[in-house]
A = this chain, B = another copy of it.
Amino acid sequence: QVDTHIHAAACMNQKHLLRFIKHTYQTEPDRIVAEKKGKKMTLKQVFESLHMDPYDLTVDSLDVHAGRQTFHRFDKFNSKYNPVGASELRDLYLKTENYIGGEYFARMVKEVARELEESKYQYTEPRLSIYGRSPDEWLNLAKWFIKHKVYSPNMRWIIQVPRIYDIFRSKNILPSFGKMLENIFVPLFEATINPKDHKELHLFLKYVTGFDSVDDESKHSGHMFSDKSLNPDLWTSEKNPPYSYYLYYMYVNIMLLNNLRNFLFRPHCGEAGSITHLVSAFLTADNISHGLLLKKSPVLQYLYYLAQIPIAMSPLSNNSLFLEYSKNPLREFLHKGLRVSLSTDDPMQFHYTKEALMEEYAIAAQVWKLSTCDLCEIARNSVLQSGLSDKEKQKFLGVNYCKEGPEGNDIRKTNVAQIRMAFRYETLCNELSFLSDAMRTEEISTLSK
């Protein structure tokens, strides 16, 4: 099984983070870890400045876990990324760029990786952020990755781009949306065309399999994207472009890049906000994260079914933020034949055990009484929609995994019953032929007129 949607900055659970903080405080209190207004600070001083004693910290005072108070409050949820509410600790422990070169964050990610490697069949696709504030971000991220040897055979990396142009623009960090796109994509073209001059980035990109577009979807933009919309270079206002604009320009750039390499586009979509986001992603995405709002649009649901666009769902995340578990449409989507997988989103905020993905499967299995076959189908979907290589997919799903229907299923590897595969295949074929018949009839009746 692959955790198809997880943010690196929240890939450890709260207890893990707590222990790590305590451990660093015990072992290296006098290490200089930050600089504030030109003054260097030791770890001890950082905690003193926050009036905090790490010995007294508990998972509760750490306060990174989502609860009832975050339901329908994405703003409150976002602040949960700050341990004990202190952005200083987020910078120190959960960022790749800081005084210690993101060492603490790298160490925790590697601890998570070691546990995955031990469990053998668990893979994960953590998201790392590129903001587009400056063209150096890529190189810094690549250096962090290489310096701390963050590589793990059980991890494939995805780059998430937060849709927060408006914040950078209002702080005058960016002159236009075009500049943001430039900062995000130009370094990639350069490193791809001329790898020798960009060795670090070139190496890092080997482990990056795709892009995600992230932020609170319920924030509404007044603008309606059309052929009259301004070009990115001319988009200089402080207003944030709409979701569709972001998706289109990311898509275009990724497609261009894909003449030279092979990135997937896997945006967050349909977690909240307008259902039109699902239209944008239908036209541009390889697969999406969440897709919750397909619940509200039978037509879009049908389109996602026909096109078999994979959906990485995170019902525990939804349960804390947008939709109660029992109302989550995952089960219905699965039974209808949509290509859903289970993912954790943010183990730090939502999960209790060390095995966050297994916990996600466990709860789904218990609440919805999913059968072994259901669970295995979900796991198979997760491998299919992941950024794992062709070779790895062959290893986990069988050599013919690309073929459709039961032929593509190696039951000894997937444990999905052939009758299930046959049912899915026949149902889809029937649906498609029903549609093409309907179209033909229409053509004929038009002709006969």
Check A372 for interface membership: any CB of B closer than 8 A: yes
Question: Could you tell me which residues of chain A, from 344 to 379, have a CB within 8 Å of some CB in chain B?
Answer: 351-355, 358-359, 361-363, 365-367, 369, 371-372
Residues of B within 8 A of A316 (CB): 366
Please classify the interface of chain A as helix (H, G, I), strand (E, B), loop, or mixed, using the class held by over half of its residues. Answer: helix
A358→B367 CA distance, assembly (Å): 16
Of B67, B352, B355, B367, the contact of A367 (CB 8 Å cutoff) = B367
A421→B415 CA distance, assembly (Å): 50
A371→B67 CA distance, assembly (Å): 7
Q: How large is the interface on A (under 10, 10 to 19, 20 to 34, 35 or more residues)?
A: 20 to 34
Closest B residue to A357 using CB positions: B353
Question: Could you tell me which residues of chain A, from 50 to 97, have a CB within 8 Å of some CB in chain B?
Answer: 58, 60, 65, 67-68
Check A319 for interface membership: any CB of B closer than 8 A: yes
As for how many copies of this chain the complex holds, the number is 2
A106 to chain B, nearest CB (A): 23
Cβ-defined contact, A325 with B367, below 8 A: yes
Interface string of A322-345 (1 = CB under 8 A from B): 001110000000000000000000
Of B60, B353, B371, B372, the contact of A362 (CB 8 Å cutoff) = B353
Cβ-defined contact, B415 with A67, below 8 A: no
A376 to chain B, nearest CB (A): 8
Cβ-defined contact, B366 with A319, below 8 A: yes
A316→B358 CA distance, assembly (Å): 15
Residues of B within 8 A of A354 (CB): 353-355
Interface string of A360-402 (1 = CB under 8 A from B): 0111011101011000000000000000000000000000000
Closest B residue to A115 using CB positions: B354
Of B326, B353, B372, the contact of A353 (CB 8 Å cutoff) = B353
Residue of A326, A358, A365 with most chain B CB atoms under a 10 A cut-off? A358
Which A residues are closer than 8 A to B by beta carbons?
58, 60, 65, 67-68, 316, 319, 324-326, 351-355, 358-359, 361-363, 365-367, 369, 371-372, 415
CB-defined A-B contacts under 8 Å, sample of 7: A352-B359, A353-B359, A354-B354, A354-B355, A355-B355, A359-B362, A363-B366
